[in-house]
Structure 1
Amino acid sequence: MVSSGYRAILKEEIGPEAKNFINNLLIVTLGSGLASLGTFAFTILGGRLLGPEEFGKFSLIQSVAFILYIPMLAGFGVGLVKYASETSNLLQQKKILGTTFRLTALTTVVSVIVILLLRPWIIEIFSITPEMLIIALFVSVVYVLSSMANSVQRGLKLMKSYAVWQPVYAFILLVLFGVFAFLRVDSFRAMALPLLVAYGITGLGIMIMLGVRNHLSFGYDYNTAKKLMKYSFFGLIVLISSSIYTNVGRIFVAHYLTFSDVGVYSAYFGSSINLGSILFLTFNAVFFPTISGYEDQRPVLAKFERILPYFVIGGITGVFIFESIALRLFGEGYPRDIWLMVLFAATTVLNIWYLVYSNVFNAKGLRGAKYSAVTVVIMALVIFSLSFGLIPIFGVAGAVGASAISFGVGIIFLRGFRQQVFGRLNDQPPTNLN
């Protein structure tokens, strides 16, 4: 069935590389699919129980946490996956892991100290309370642990392990949320604290498992550090800018509108753009380590562009249908607007389209990462500028409209940079994925 679908869409026979890729993808999809059901249930139940205002506060905590973690992780996770997946030598992999761990530990400690020193300014900028900031800070730290643990699994291509731990995270979320609901806790804490604990337990659990399997090392190698820092510098730029265009909508909505509006925006976002991001992360858990090992990524781009019409039409339709169902489940506090749903669905497809291009560029190494970093900075400037003008006038629609334009700009720039990074796509026949 998979072979027939591959042959029908791409007009060629499936080869061993593609089979291995699809097998790994199916394994990860199974685990991530179960996890997505759990996290979706957590989001829906939380939105219904807390209502738009408290759900909006929780969403804002998430956004702030995912901005605060940027200097902590400093782009080293992407570098770890890139370089660990390129070699099968266990000693070399351990050297990469150990060096990455030490660098990340240093940046995390320094970042926490700076954030605490700047606490009054951060509270004012993000329109949050001191308690919300402290929770966001804790979430960001444990998210770094969880993110690094997942990066190790991806870099070492431990896809079965990666697939198993995804639903464990979702199970912890649901169980703890159930406890808070039973205790009739109806504030943002009922969602924020389970999130904090789930990241911490899964991150620590994965690290212990990797240690038992003798995959971990905490040694430090100067040359490896130099290589990681060079690549991760561009990864950090991408991380900063992508975090801005992912989270700026909530922050500007909170600044110009109300926590309830943040809750409504988050309900639409969770039913569309976040869904697309989860699906792409599932795909990319296998995709990026795989294509990082290729000398030539042009066949990947060529194949993606062949299926692009199916992806755009099917993607917008599928996301719109999912939104229709999800927003009904959120309840009456979250109004359903057809045009807003269409706008969020189109933005979701543009987001995934951009992410595919961006990851193919990053897989090319420093040369591709430089162009990817330039593009994402431009995108961040676009969405930041547009949010100032559109959100006060159009509200939630202005926030997602700014995101859509930003993703479109990113796609245009990366398409324009293709020849500088890869040469012409048709210079040689596609062979990598056959």
Structure 2
Amino acid sequence: MKEKRESFTIQALSGSIWNFFALIFQRAGALIFTIIIARFLLPEGFGLYNLILSIALTFTVLSERGINESLIRYLSETLEKKAKARNFFKYILKLKLVILISFLVILGIAAYPLSVYFFKKPVIFIPLLFAILYVFVFSLDSFFSSYFFAAKKVKYVAQKETLYQILRIVLILGVFYVIRPTSPLSHIFVALTFASLITLIFVIANVYKYSPYLFEKSDKIKEFDKKRINNFISYFTITSISFVILGNIDTIMLGYFIDSAESIGLYRAAFTLSSSIAGLLGFGTVLLPLFIKMKDKQLQRAFNRVFRYTMIVAVPISFGLAILGNYFLTFIFGVEYIDAKWPLYVLAFLIILGVQVSLFVYLFLTKERPKDYLSLLIGVIILDIILNFIFIKIFLNYSTNLVITGVALASLISWLVYSIGIGIMSRTRLNIKVNGYVIIKPLIAAIVMSLAILYIKSNVNVGIINGIILILVGAVIYFASLFILKALRKEDLYLIKDVIKLLR
């Protein structure tokens, strides 16, 4: 039994490391891309870009999450049965196209009234139309990429991300240095569309290389299987709608209540920094195919192990970002974005909560029960909207910096409620008991690390070299504290060693 547990952990961690590489390329590329456009567009133009992207993604993710997770969920279950896998693949692809096109047509019709009458920013209308084309291609790319998670070939996702990030960085540099448009927003989305199109061709070619039978003529899917997929997708799509609203309501409400796009740009700079780091810890797509094959007790043990390792990493990163965030903002985005430090002090702790929620969500997907936490999610959204409205109205009388900090606080409170609630539901609905106490020792170690960093900061001028040294010293203090607290054991180091051997 112990060997089975070790085998799962090694599989999960090795898959997670490839996923981590993919996310490294994705987040690093996204960060470089964001830095480029943030520096060229400045806070106001960057705010308009993010408003357009939030509107487009709000519509697109509705067709992303439910469909893509369904492909991972059911393809990983049937890949060894070629005919059934082909039927599932073709059926889910048809659903994907119907839902995606429907949502984007609605967005195309609504683009003008949204731009002119709701947000009162006519300048975003034409770029929003180009954004629709971009998210269509990008969404198909995400769908076909889901195959690699189901087939446990995550290294190809890393290759795909490398290609995409290089392409879009090169193309966006071409926009700013070669074309030099006076209004570059539309050109940015055209460049992104070309990058996504080339990546889509690469992904489809590799899917065909490993599973050509998926593209052959399929039989009619059984009604029982169709019902399973439809139920899963319908409930997960509803939860996705709620999840998308929760993730973008802050930007949309800022766009509605605040005339200047500069504040949106500052807020999104802080949000991008925290979410980029949180995304590096998103192992759900790797874990889903592994969790599906486990029974209740085995699943509980495996989940708790993954939860523990994830918290050991997420907690110090959150504290470190909160303490050193102003330096990161200045170095990455420029001095124009220094006021983004106020919301970042709060948003840094979304890393812990976001990772927790992501793990719990995939736990429910394993059991084909996304509908179980829907009522909680809707309640959290209502809470988030109310808190956003209250904080915006109160702080608008003082300063926009307080407004964006209040919006960040509303998000933190909402995600805290969401994390606690979905953790309780995993016990009551799924009978999976999660040991939440494993976060206590990492919290203590992170506080010790933070106090040490603050003390050193007060006595040393923090430049680039000193900043890197400070981060390394903080990491040493944190892990030393974990060993003293016996939160990190020798077998954990041996396990990491085994994973590294497996990847060679």
TM-score (norm 1): 0.87
Q: Which of 388, 396, 406 pairs up with 2:404?
A: 396
1:30 aligns with 2:12: no
Q: Which letter maps to 1:33?
A: I
Kept in 1: contact 2:270–2:340 (CA 8 A) = no
Cα drift, residue 398 of structure 1:
1.7
Kept in 2: contact 1:272–1:323 (CA 8 A) = no
Secondary structure at the residue paired with 2:338? coil
1:166 aligns with 2:161: yes
Cα drift, residue 71 of structure 1:
4.4
1:108 aligns with 2:100: yes
Once residues 175 and 429 of structure 2 are traced to their aligned partners in structure 1, the CA distance between those partners, rounded to angstroms, is 51
Secondary structure at the residue paired with 1:237? helix
Corresponding residue number in structure 2 for 1:313: 315
Corresponding residue number in structure 1 for 2:176: 181
Once residues 126 and 229 of structure 1 are traced to their aligned partners in structure 2, the CA distance between those partners, rounded to angstroms, is 35
Equivalences, count? 415
Once residues 308 and 165 of structure 1 are traced to their aligned partners in structure 2, the CA distance between those partners, rounded to angstroms, is 25
Corresponding residue number in structure 2 for 1:82: 73
Q: Which of 335, 344, 349 pairs up with 1:341?
A: 344
Kept in 2: contact 1:80–1:228 (CA 8 A) = no
Secondary structure at the residue paired with 2:337? coil
CA distance 1:78–1:49, shift in 2 (3 Å): same
Cα drift, residue 141 of structure 1:
1.2
Corresponding residue number in structure 2 for 1:358: 361
Q: Which letter maps to 1:23?
A: S
CA distance 1:68–1:308, shift in 2 (3 Å): closer
Once residues 155 and 306 of structure 1 are traced to their aligned partners in structure 2, the CA distance between those partners, rounded to angstroms, is 24
Once residues 254 and 117 of structure 1 are traced to their aligned partners in structure 2, the CA distance between those partners, rounded to angstroms, is 20
173-182 or 340-349: bigger deviation: 340-349
Kept in 2: contact 1:273–1:348 (CA 8 A) = yes
Q: Which letter maps to 1:50?
A: L
Mapping of 1:150-299 within 5 angstroms?
A: 150-183=145-178, 184-185=180-181, 187-213=184-210, 214=212, 216-217=214-215, 219=218, 220-223=220-223, 224-257=225-258, 258-276=260-278, 278-281=279-282, 283-296=283-296, 297-299=299-301
Cα drift, residue 63 of structure 1:
0.7
Secondary structure at the residue paired with 2:270? helix
Corresponding residue number in structure 2 for 1:384: 385
1:69 aligns with 2:60: yes
Once residues 170 and 94 of structure 2 are traced to their aligned partners in structure 1, the CA distance between those partners, rounded to angstroms, is 33
Once residues 432 and 144 of structure 2 are traced to their aligned partners in structure 1, the CA distance between those partners, rounded to angstroms, is 37
Kept in 2: contact 1:298–1:422 (CA 8 A) = no
Q: Which letter maps to 2:430?
A: F
Corresponding residue number in structure 2 for 1:94: 86
Once residues 65 and 415 of structure 1 are traced to their aligned partners in structure 2, the CA distance between those partners, rounded to angstroms, is 31
Q: Which letter maps to 2:13?
A: I
CA distance 1:84–1:411, shift in 2 (3 Å): same
Give structure 2 stretches of 5+ with no counterpart. 396-401, 436-494, 496-504
Once residues 12 and 103 of structure 1 are traced to their aligned partners in structure 2, the CA distance between those partners, rounded to angstroms, is 41
191-200 or 77-86: bigger deviation: 191-200
Once residues 35 and 73 of structure 1 are traced to their aligned partners in structure 2, the CA distance between those partners, rounded to angstroms, is 17
Identity of aligned residues (%): 20
CA distance 1:89–1:125, shift in 2 (3 Å): farther
Cα drift, residue 51 of structure 1:
0.4
Once residues 315 and 302 of structure 1 are traced to their aligned partners in structure 2, the CA distance between those partners, rounded to angstroms, is 20
1:312-346 CA distance string (max 9 Å, x none): 63132243366344311211211246553321111
Once residues 94 and 378 of structure 2 are traced to their aligned partners in structure 1, the CA distance between those partners, rounded to angstroms, is 28
Mapping of 1:97-136 within 5 angstroms?
A: 97-123=89-115, 124-128=117-121, 129-136=124-131
Secondary structure at the residue paired with 2:77? coil
Cα drift, residue 232 of structure 1:
0.7
Kept in 2: contact 1:97–1:216 (CA 8 A) = yes
Q: Which letter maps to 1:112?
A: L
TM-score (norm 2): 0.75
Once residues 97 and 114 of structure 1 are traced to their aligned partners in structure 2, the CA distance between those partners, rounded to angstroms, is 26
Q: Which letter maps to 2:193?
A: L
Q: Which letter maps to 1:349?
A: I
Once residues 96 and 414 of structure 1 are traced to their aligned partners in structure 2, the CA distance between those partners, rounded to angstroms, is 30
Mapping of 1:1-12 within 5 angstroms?
A: none
Q: Which letter maps to 1:425?
A: K
Once residues 213 and 202 of structure 2 are traced to their aligned partners in structure 1, the CA distance between those partners, rounded to angstroms, is 14
Cα drift, residue 162 of structure 1:
1.5
Structure scoring higher RCO (CA < 8 A, sep ≥ 6) equals 1
Secondary structure at the residue paired with 1:30? helix
Larger radius of gyration: 2
Once residues 274 and 121 of structure 1 are traced to their aligned partners in structure 2, the CA distance between those partners, rounded to angstroms, is 32
Q: Which of 28, 35, 42 pairs up with 1:51?
A: 42
Cα drift, residue 180 of structure 1:
1.0
Give structure 1 stretches of 5+ with no counterpart. 1-10, 428-432
Cα drift, residue 265 of structure 1:
0.8
CA distance 1:312–1:295, shift in 2 (3 Å): same
Secondary structure at the residue paired with 1:15? helix
Corresponding residue number in structure 1 for 2:302: 300
Once residues 33 and 70 of structure 1 are traced to their aligned partners in structure 2, the CA distance between those partners, rounded to angstroms, is 22
CA distance 1:324–1:294, shift in 2 (3 Å): farther
Q: Which letter maps to 1:365?
A: E
Cα drift, residue 275 of structure 1:
2.6
412-421 or 315-324: bigger deviation: 315-324
- RMSD, aligned α-carbons: 2.8
Kept in 2: contact 1:65–1:139 (CA 8 A) = no
CA distance 1:178–1:269, shift in 2 (3 Å): same
CA distance 1:320–1:347, shift in 2 (3 Å): same
Cα drift, residue 148 of structure 1:
0.6
